[in-house]
Chains A and B, each alone.
Chain A
Amino acid sequence: MGLLDRLQQLRGAVPDDDIAGRTQALVVRGNEFGFDEFGASRDSLRGVLRVARWLYRHYFRASAFGVEHIPATGRVLFVANHSGQLPFDGLVIGAACFLEPPQPRLVRSMVEYFVPTVPFASYLFARWGQITGTPENCRRLLAAEEAVLVFPEGARGISKNFSKRYQLAEFGKGFLRLALEMRAPIVPIAVIGAEEQAPAINVKPLARLLGAPSFPVVPYPPFLPLVPLPVKYRLYFGEPIRMTGDPDDDDEVLDEKARSVKNRIQSMIQIGLREREHVFW
């Protein structure tokens, strides 16, 4: 069998997702101009989801496990490990929630405060349903029964060095307070693969010099992790966790609860790592 045939066969094995139909099935609370209150629009989503699908199915050849834990409706807080220098993990989680369950869901990730200052990203992220990561925004979306994705490791997670892969950085408590206050179930997600997509070290003095949050360097041209390696992504969706308690509790109590979510994700990561045979396939 020639290489071309082999490629054809591989292509055939990939499901042909009905992007248009699925986008139509997404719940977007648009007004008469087609925009929701955060600026998301179905038309923009349709375009970006085509790209996301290609990355998901072909570039990262992602597989998702525990898709039944993605609720079809109702508020939910997705909590995942964060890594890989560039936030492809967010994109892959978004694509999975769009492509895998019977009822596609729009995932709204909480993005860094600097994103609205970057030309194009400023409004494109909004059109694609991504929101500036303020607690008020998250509260509002959960109240509207939407799905919000948070990475409690934040910048510490995405810029971690290669040697720290699959070791969760400290979790903030913000996500937990929001889950308690809004009585939103937490669906933990372990992302396997992203932590190897850019085997980088962070050159801290350069980052300080440039005033950037980090300055990652990879050991191959162009030495900056602009393009992720074609690692294979494996997503594990865990059973929803229903937290109860007072969102204004003492920090120790909240820390304890945040740690329990972190441990849950860490153990899901260990299982995922044990199950996989190779980083790239």
Chain B
Amino acid sequence: MTDGAERPAARPRTVVVTGISGRLGRIVARRLHHELDWRIVGLDRRPMPGRPKDIEHHQVDLRSKKARDVFRAGEVDALIHLGVMHDPRARPAEIYSWNITGTTKLLEYCQAYRVPKAVLLSSANVYGPRPDNPQFLTEDAPLLAAQRFPQMRDLVEIDHLVSTFLWRAQSTETVILRPVHIVGPVHNAPSNYLRIQRPPVLLGFDPMVQLIHYQDIADAIVAALGPGRRGIYNIVGPGEVPLSAVLRELGREPVQIPHPVAKPILSLAFRLGVSSFPVAELDFIRYVCMVDGRRANAELGFRPRFGLRETIHAVDEPA
């Protein structure tokens, strides 16, 4: 990375990564470490077992004073916010407070301690799956996911918080990445779903879906860290395929459920602990929610490295 760094080049640059203990967080941290040789500081309320020696880790709550100290002490060159909590089994009020207050605090620190770069990993799901969606949504489409999916409300609100910050805080170059379904040996809704041997599908529905390889996400984040880059970007993988083709490629045996009874059946299964499929997200396997990635391609120079088949099979990679 040669760029217009205003500070002396002798000091290694520092990046703070929230949610570093998650699988995706660890992958991103490793990539940054290898490729950019930056000093990496992790913030997560979970421990980080098996952490490489030269990655710092602070096991703190983003809302606590200790998190502020990290920003106050070191000269932070960039923040990568991956720590959006989305656990269908946790208490909604707790998640909400964690997500919204945590993000607000992070943005405060960025402004107070003049962090030159902030990257939020949002999701293309914030637009929401809808029958009247155009096949490819652009970045200026309204974020309608919260309207029907209470579980998506936090992410939509965080995305809004950070977009406001993007326009308001001139001293921080802010980038919001809205990737399509990230698949790989990670714990998120799409990967978990694709790992089920007999996943539920809706009888008579087979929407087109977009997937992206988890390693490509690391590339997108690295691209977003480039100087001068700010804005909102959809991040799209290698192409579009029907959900059924993805499941066939993985050798899954989908269970067809008529949509009028899918809700009661799946919510019962969820409460009994038989399935971890969140009922509110049924529309994601019913309607399209695909995005147009041309802006990221033109402005960030982002292009996925992994093909469709490799991307699909990434869910079955060992962690």
Q: Confirm or deny: B242 has a beta carbon within 8 angstroms of a beta carbon on chain A.
A: yes
- Within the complex, the shortest CB–CB distance from B135 to chain A, in Å, comes to 5
Instruction: Note all chain B residues with C-beta closer than 8 A to A126.
Output: 208
Instruction: Note all chain A residues with C-beta closer than 8 A to B245.
Output: 33, 35
Instruction: Note all chain B residues with C-beta closer than 8 A to A123.
Output: 204-207, 242
A35–B241 touching, CB < 8 Å: yes
Q: Confirm or deny: B264 has a beta carbon within 8 angstroms of a beta carbon on chain A.
A: no
Give A195-218 interface residues, CB cut-off 8 Å to B: none
Q: Confirm or deny: A38 has a beta carbon within 8 angstroms of a beta carbon on chain B.
A: yes
Give A90-132 interface residues, CB cut-off 8 Å to B: 113-123, 126, 131-132
Q: Confirm or deny: A134 has a beta carbon within 8 angstroms of a beta carbon on chain B.
A: yes
Q: Confirm or deny: B309 has a beta carbon within 8 angstroms of a beta carbon on chain A.
A: yes
Q: Report the nearest B residue to A116, measured CB to CB.
A: B131
Q: Confirm or deny: A31 has a beta carbon within 8 angstroms of a beta carbon on chain B.
A: yes
A39–B208 touching, CB < 8 Å: yes
A137–B134 touching, CB < 8 Å: yes
Known A-B contacts A32-B308, A39-B242; A119 and B205 likewise in contact (beta carbons under 8 Å): yes
Give B194-220 interface residues, CB cut-off 8 Å to A: 202-208
Complex formed: what's the CA distance from A37 to B249 in Å? Answer: 18
Chain B count of residues within 8 A CB distance of the other chain: 28
A35–B204 touching, CB < 8 Å: no
B135–A140 touching, CB < 8 Å: yes
Interface string of B108-151 (1 = CB under 8 A from A): 00000000000000000000000111111010000000000000
B205–A122 touching, CB < 8 Å: yes
Complex formed: what's the CA distance from A115 to B288 in Å? Answer: 13
Instruction: Note all chain A residues with C-beta closer than 8 A to B38.
Output: none
Q: Confirm or deny: B240 has a beta carbon within 8 angstroms of a beta carbon on chain A.
A: yes
Chain B binding surface SS class: loop
Instruction: Note all chain A residues with C-beta closer than 8 A to B258.
Output: 119
Task: Give the size range of A's interface with the partner.
Answer: 20 to 34
Q: Confirm or deny: B301 has a beta carbon within 8 angstroms of a beta carbon on chain A.
A: no
B308–A33 touching, CB < 8 Å: yes
A32–B307 touching, CB < 8 Å: yes
Q: Confirm or deny: B63 has a beta carbon within 8 angstroms of a beta carbon on chain A.
A: no
Instruction: Note all chain A residues with C-beta closer than 8 A to B203.
Output: 119
Instruction: Note all chain A residues with C-beta closer than 8 A to B135.
Output: 37-38, 131-132, 134, 136-137, 140
Known A-B contacts A32-B308, A39-B242, A122-B205; A136 and B134 likewise in contact (beta carbons under 8 Å): yes
A37–B240 touching, CB < 8 Å: yes
Q: Confirm or deny: B31 has a beta carbon within 8 angstroms of a beta carbon on chain A.
A: no
Q: Report the nearest A residue to B238, measured CB to CB.
A: A31
- Within the complex, the shortest CB–CB distance from A48 to chain B, in Å, comes to 16
Known A-B contacts A32-B307, A32-B309, A33-B308; A134 and B134 likewise in contact (beta carbons under 8 Å): yes
Instruction: Note all chain B residues with C-beta closer than 8 A to A114.
Output: 131
Instruction: Note all chain A residues with C-beta closer than 8 A to B47.
Output: none
Give B244-281 interface residues, CB cut-off 8 Å to A: 245, 249, 258-259
Q: Confirm or deny: B239 has a beta carbon within 8 angstroms of a beta carbon on chain A.
A: yes
Instruction: Note all chain A residues with C-beta closer than 8 A to B132.
Output: 113, 116, 132, 134
Complex formed: what's the CA distance from A176 to B57 in Å? Answer: 59
Instruction: Note all chain B residues with C-beta closer than 8 A to A116.
Output: 131-132, 287-288
Complex formed: what's the CA distance from A176 to B249 in Å? Answer: 42
Complex formed: what's the CA distance from A35 to B308 in Å? Answer: 12
Q: Report the nearest B residue to A139, measured CB to CB.
A: B134
Q: Report the nearest B residue to A121, measured CB to CB.
A: B204
Complex formed: what's the CA distance from A275 to B42 in Å? Answer: 79
Complex formed: what's the CA distance from A64 to B151 in Å? Answer: 54
- Within the complex, the shortest CB–CB distance from B212 to chain A, in Å, comes to 15
Instruction: Note all chain A residues with C-beta closer than 8 A to B249.
Output: 33
Complex formed: what's the CA distance from A115 to B131 in Å? Answer: 8
- Within the complex, the shortest CB–CB distance from B97 to chain A, in Å, comes to 36
Complex formed: what's the CA distance from A122 to B138 in Å? Answer: 22
- Within the complex, the shortest CB–CB distance from B60 to chain A, in Å, comes to 44
Query: Which 9 pairs from chain A and chain B are nearest by CB?
Result: A119-B204, A136-B134, A116-B131, A123-B206, A134-B134, A120-B204, A113-B132, A39-B208, A117-B131
A to B CB contacts below 8 Å, 25 in the list: A32-B308, A33-B249, A33-B308, A35-B208, A37-B136, A38-B135, A113-B131, A115-B131, A117-B131, A118-B204, A119-B203, A119-B205, A120-B204, A122-B204, A122-B205, A122-B286, A123-B204, A132-B131, A132-B134, A134-B132, A134-B133, A134-B135, A136-B136, A136-B138, A140-B136
Interface residues of A (CB under 8 A from B): 31-33, 35, 37-39, 113-123, 126, 131-132, 134-137, 140
Interface residues of B (CB under 8 A from A): 131-136, 138, 202-208, 239-242, 245, 249, 258-259, 286-288, 307-309
Q: A31-B241, A37-B136, A37-B208 are in contact. List 18 more A-B contacts (CB 8 A).
A: A32-B239, A32-B307, A32-B309, A33-B241, A35-B208, A37-B135, A38-B135, A38-B208, A39-B208, A116-B287, A119-B202, A119-B203, A126-B208, A134-B134, A134-B135, A135-B134, A140-B135, A140-B136
